[in-house]
Amino acid sequence: MRLERGRRSQNIEDRRGARSSGRRVSSGRGMKVGGIGGIVVVLVGLFLGVDLSSLMSAGGAPQSSRSGGQLTQSSSTGRSAADVEAERLVSVVLADTEDVWTKLFQQAGQRYQRPKLVVFNDGVRSACGFTSSAAGPFYCPGDNQVYMDLGFFRQLKQMGAGGDFAQAYVVAHEVGHHIQNLLGVSMEVQRMQRQLPKAQANALSVKTELQADCYAGVWAHHAHKDRQLLEPGDLEEGMKAAASIGDDVMMARAGAPVRPERFTHGTAEQRQRWLYIGLESGDPTRCDTLSNV
Ligand SMILES: [Zn+2]
């Protein structure tokens, strides 16, 4: 990604070093909305439309290794180069989602409310209760905030989904849950899930997660169109990441039987497909996963 083209968001709160104690399981108001899932790799080659084809890797090595700046003024001392780079990425991508969604909401005659993104270590308290880093990044509808332990990016890389655009996809996916919250989807889905047997509630969760993937794609479309933030290789990274966190791939990787009734985020194929629908169209109305998956 060409992160140097982007501005940094003011809506990041650094809670690293602020010790959170408490139980692992959420007990606060509201259910937290699924994180990104876990994360590894599959290749997808065919991209259509716009000038997305120019973003396919020409076999080049990953780019943007320039590090820079601080997440917040007081927080970046003693950080590793990888942390500083991750801080920059999260800040620039969050800022870009602010610009893209502000524009898209305006076009729909609505006003976008920017979410805050909280960076934490180990565990964090939110309106959704206490959550361990092990749960991965998540969005809490109760306080309109995205929560991320930047260490998740290392896990992502270990699972084969490295690269800055894969990381950006994680941020944009969580912002996708914020969009769902603003549009009233989250509340409606949670209301329905409380009345459904587990397998059907999981199926609804899959639809919600795929919509967040699609919204992540919508963001990337506009980030590229408006600011040329993407560069060759980025789409491949995103598609690899989407595949690597498919429920079927993750279950197989864990050596577990693949049980579709337990899927909560969608298969690798579904996650790639919906990310791509958003990417190719740039149109959030195309992200209607609730009526067709
Ligand atoms: Zn999610």
| Measured distance CA(173)–CA(160) in Å, rounded | 18
Helix (H) or strand (E) holding 13: strand 12-14
**CA–centroid distance, residue 94 to ligand 1 (Å):** 16
**CA–centroid distance, residue 209 to ligand 1 (Å):** 5
Cβ 118 vs Cβ 13: under 8 Å: yes
- Collect residues with CB below 5 Å from ion ligand 1: 34, 209, 212
Cβ 277 vs Cβ 215: under 8 Å: no
Stated pTM of the model: 0.83
**CA–centroid distance, residue 177 to ligand 1 (Å):** 7
| Measured distance CA(60)–CA(244) in Å, rounded | 21
**CA–centroid distance, residue 236 to ligand 1 (Å):** 20
pLDDT in tens, the chain (293 residues): 999 889 999 999 999 986 554 444 344 455 677 677 643 322 222 232 334 444 554 433 333 333 334 454 444 457 888 889 999 999 999 999 999 999 999 999 999 999 999 999 999 999 999 999 999 999 999 999 999 999 999 988 888 888 999 999 999 999 999 999 999 999 999 999 999 999 999 999 999 999 999 999 999 999 999 999 999 999 999 999 999 989 999 899 889 999 999 999 999 999 999 999 999 999 999 999 988 66
The type of residue at 92 is V
Domain ranges of the chain: 3-60+67-286
| Measured distance CA(212)–CA(217) in Å, rounded | 9
pLDDT of residue 284: 97
pLDDT of residue 160: 82
